[in-house]
Amino acid sequence: MKLECKHVWEYISEYIDNTLDAKLREDIERHLETCEICSAILDSTRNVLVLTADDRTFELPVGYSERLHGRLAKELESPGTPEERK
Amino acid sequence: MQPNSTREGELIARIIGGEKELFHELVRPYERMVYLTVFSILKNETDAEDAAQEAVINAYRHLDSFRAESKFSTWLTTIAINEGRKRLRRAKGATFESIDEQEEDKGGDYTPAPLTDWREIPQNVLERKELREALRKAIAELPDKYRQVFILRDLEGFSTEDTAQMLGISIATVKVRLHRARMMLQKRLVPFLKTMAPKRRGFFGSAP
C-alpha cells in the first residue's frame, strides 16, 4: 500500500518503539526510502529522544543525594522496624 | 531499569527483618527516577526535592506492603506520583481537576514540523548547552498529561504497560499521549536546530 506523508506521521512514535505490525512497518520503510521529509522528521524525533535520555539534560540539584540519605538516616534511627511501628 | 529483582527481594526481606540500614542501598539506584517523577508533576526544583524525600520515606515506612510480584521500581515510582499529585492538589486547592480523567481530545495539531535541510544532528550540536536548555523548556511547557507520560517513558525508560499502570490510564492513552508529546517537542526544537544547522551540507562531516 502506498502511504501518504500525513499517514506516516501518525505512526512515527510507534515506529520508533517498534510496536507496529510487520506489514505496516514495511510500508512505512518503503515510504521513508524515498521521502526526505518523513525521514528527516523521523531522525529529528529520534534525536530529541537521544537528547532527552542524556543525563546532562536533566541534572539533579547539587547535594540532592546527600540530603536525601541524610533525611533517610534520621528516619532509620527511629526505633523499630517499619513492620513493628505500624 | 531492573538492576536485579532477586537481589532486591533479598534486600527488602532483610530490611523488614530489621537490617534497616540496607534501605539506603535499596533506593540508591532509583534516586534520580524518584526526583524526575515528582519534578514532572511539580516543575519546581525545591518542591520536587522535598517531595522526593517524602516519597522515599513513605516507601520505607510502607515497605512491608510491597508485594514481590510487582517491580520495586514501579512501586516506588507510584508512591512518588502520589506524593507529587498530593502536593499539586494542595497547591492548586479546589481548582484542581484530575488530569487523567480528561478524555483525549480529537482536535489539536500534533503533526511534526516538516524539514529537509538536515538529517542527523551531529554529535557536536547535541553537546551544546543551549539545545539542552531549549529541550528542558519545551518539556516543561508540555501540557501536564503529556509531560508525565513523556518523562516516564522517554526519560526514565519505563515500558508502556508500566507507565499505564502507574498513571492509572489505558495503554492506548499512554501511546496517544506519548506520540503527541514527541511530536510537540520535535516541532518546538526543529526551528532551534535549523538555526544551528550548517548552510552547506557536509560542514560537520568535514570538521576535524
CATH number of B88's domain: 1.10.1740.10
**Subunit contact A41:B115, Cβ cutoff 8 A:** yes
Nearest-Å Rg of the Cα atoms of chain A is 24
Q: Which domain holds residue A28?
A: 5-77
CATH number of B179's domain: 1.10.10.10
Task: Give the residue from A4, A5, A13, A34 with the most B CB atoms within 10 Å of its CB, the best one to mutate.
Answer: A13
Burial of A65 (0-12, 13-18, 19+ CB in 10 A): middle
**pTM recorded for the entire structure:** 0.83
CA distance A26 to chain B (A): 20
The answer to whether residue B56 sits within a structural domain is: yes
The answer to whether residue B77 sits within a structural domain is: yes
Q: Is the pLDDT of residue B179 over 80?
A: yes
The answer to whether residue B102 sits within a structural domain is: no
Residue in chain B nearest A85 by alpha carbon: B61
Per CB-CB distance under 8 Å, the chain B contacts of A54 are 126, 132
Q: Is the pLDDT of residue B124 over 60?
A: yes
pLDDT for A56: 87
Give me the number of domains chain A comprises. Answer: 1
Question: In this predicted structure, which of A27-36, A51-60, B43-52, B96-105 has the lowest mean pLDDT?
Answer: B96-105
Contact call for residues B167 and B100 (beta carbons, < 8 A): yes
The answer to whether residue B101 sits within a structural domain is: no
Question: In this predicted structure, which of A39-48, B44-53, B172-181 has the lowest mean pLDDT?
Answer: A39-48
Contact call for residues B120 and A47 (beta carbons, < 8 A): yes
Contact call for residues B34 and B55 (beta carbons, < 8 A): yes
Distance CA B172, CA B72 (A): 24
Tally A–B CB contacts below 8 A.
Answer: 138
Task: Give the residue from A12, A20, A43, A52 with the most B CB atoms within 10 Å of its CB, the best one to mutate.
Answer: A52
* Residue after which a domain boundary falls, among B39, B61, B92: B92
**Subunit contact B155:A72, Cβ cutoff 8 A:** no
Can you tell me the mean pLDDT for B49-63? 97
Burial of B6 (0-12, 13-18, 19+ CB in 10 A): exposed
The answer to whether residue B208 sits within a structural domain is: no
pLDDT for B208: 37
pLDDT for B103: 56
The answer to whether residue B146 sits within a structural domain is: yes
Please choose, from the candidates B25, B54, B15, B60, the residue with its C-alpha nearest in 3D space to the C-alpha of residue B37: B54
Q: Which domain holds residue B55?
A: 5-92
Per CB-CB distance under 8 Å, the chain A contacts of B33 are none
Question: In this predicted structure, which of A54-63, B81-90, B109-118 has the lowest mean pLDDT?
Answer: B109-118
Can you tell me the mean pLDDT for A11-26? 95
Specify whether B83 is located in the same domain as B148.
Answer: no
Residue in chain B nearest A64 by alpha carbon: B49
Per CB-CB distance under 8 Å, the chain B contacts of A31 are none
The answer to whether residue B45 sits within a structural domain is: yes
pLDDT in tens, B141-158: 999 999 999 999 999 999
CA distance A34 to chain B (A): 13
Q: Is the pLDDT of residue B199 over 90?
A: no
Contact call for residues B27 and B52 (beta carbons, < 8 A): no
Specify whether B88 is located in the same domain as B13.
Answer: yes
Counting Cα atoms < 13 Å in the Cβ hemisphere of A74 gives: 8
Coil, helix or strand at residue B37: helix
Contact call for residues B40 and B148 (beta carbons, < 8 A): yes
**Subunit contact B112:A41, Cβ cutoff 8 A:** yes
Per CB-CB distance under 8 Å, the chain B contacts of A53 are 154-155, 157
Closest in A9, A47, A67 to B121, CB measured: A47
Higher pLDDT among residues B173 and B111, named by residue? B173
